[in-house]
Amino acid sequence: MQGLTTGLCSDHAHSSVTPPAFLSSNYFYDTFGERPTFDYGRGGNPTRALLADALTTLEAGTGAVVTSSGMSAIMVVLQAFVPIGGHVIAPHDCYGGTWRILDTWATAGRLTVDWVDETDLDALRTALESPTDLLLVETPSNPLLRITDIAAAAELAHSSKGERTVVAVDNTFCSPILQQPLNLGADLVIASDTKFLNGHSDVIGGSVVAAVPEDVDLMAFHANMLGVTASPLDSWLTLRGLRTLRVRMKAHCTNAARMVEILSSHAAVAAVHWPGLPDHPGHDLAARQQKDFGSLLSFELAGGLPAVEAFMTGVEGFILAESLGGVESLVCHPATMTHAAMSQEARDAAGVNDSMIRMSPGIDPVDDLATCLNEALDRAAAV
């Protein structure tokens, strides 16, 4: 797949197959007054540029800005496209970190935000009756795996009131291997590169890929100004991680399907959230706009918080930790971990309850994971 091999054999000075990491913070001028391609590392770096090229190809865009975290990628989008007092529409069930920055900036008067169930196109259409600067979409959503129709949402936004409504899709859960939002009408694709793109839980990074060059230039200006561009080493590690993205995603998705099969038939489980299930409200839509149903899933235990504690205590095969998309298998409790920044009212509105566990199956042998999951569920059932 194009993009996964970006940078290979590009070192003509020494003929290395894999590109080196250029760690220099500054670059010399051959001639006074003639600026070199790279001059200062915050604004540009050869290694970061290779990663941007790779992500641009994978997402079918025109350019990318690579940032120091997924949240800094969102901040760059907000700074670039939402003026002071501007209006944002965001998913009511978004990632807790996204909720935190929007809620904090709204409270401070920096912007206004409407929290909308974006799976409901009528609700989205109503929200867009107010002039809107940015429509932020997260699909599948975190942690309930709800699916938003990207093409329909983009069409509504682009035909709404106001000069321009920018449509940005957080594609972290799918990666470009499973979903390409720009091809569905989005203007921007946001990712936490920390997750599947890097895939090894040793980088904090983010990126935004744009459909038009003008948006790339605007975001690059703000990323440089804010000082949130990615480091050369993090860029190199992420570029290395991309080499195996396709095969990792296949293994992640295969393992997730097996975990869902176990969860769906166990007495300890009250509900399973995964778009690959035929009765999932977004199943048909996910089948159309994604190439697979993804590897993230969440489930609710019938025994409530005591059952969650029993499940997590001594769980083997799965690591109790935040984040996702690494080769290791992770579980977390959104209400007290990834979404702890949200108010109780916001969590209730989003459907993030104390009984919920989010799972990110890694690429471990699936039979080993199945054994560990059954043992943990049996403990939960005994509560």
- From the list 93, 170, 187, 234, the catalytic residue is 170
Tell me if residue 95 is catalytic: yes
Q: Which residues are paired to 188 by β-bridges?
A: 168, 210
Residue 91 pairs in a beta bridge with: 116
149 is catalytic: no
Q: Please count the residues of the chain.
A: 383
Helix (H, G, I), strand (E, B) or coil at 91: strand
Give the CA count within 13 Å in the CB-facing half-sphere of 295: 31
Tokens for 321?
């930790």
Nearest to 219 by CA among 6, 72, 103, 86: 72
Maximal C-alpha separation, the chain: 75
3-class DSSP assignment, residue 122:
helix
Burial class (CB in 10 A: 0-12, 13-18, 19+), 99: buried
Catalytic residue at 42?
Answer: yes
The CA dihedral of 172, 163, 120, 101, to the nearest 10 degrees, is: 50
Catalytic residue, from 42, 100, 164, 243: name it. 42
Residue with tokens 């106001």: 162
Among the options 110, 195, 248, 347, which is catalytic? 195
Locus of tokens 């009765």: 279
**Residue 29 annotated among the catalytic residues of the structure:** no
Cβ–Cβ contacts within 10 Å for residue 247, how many? Answer: 12
Catalytic residue from among 48, 95, 117, 193: 95
Task: Give the C-alpha distances (Å, rounded to integers) separating 122 from 119, 127, 139.
Answer: 9, 9, 17
Helices (H), 191-293: 213-226, 232-242, 245-264, 283-289
Catalytic annotation, residues: 42, 95, 170, 195
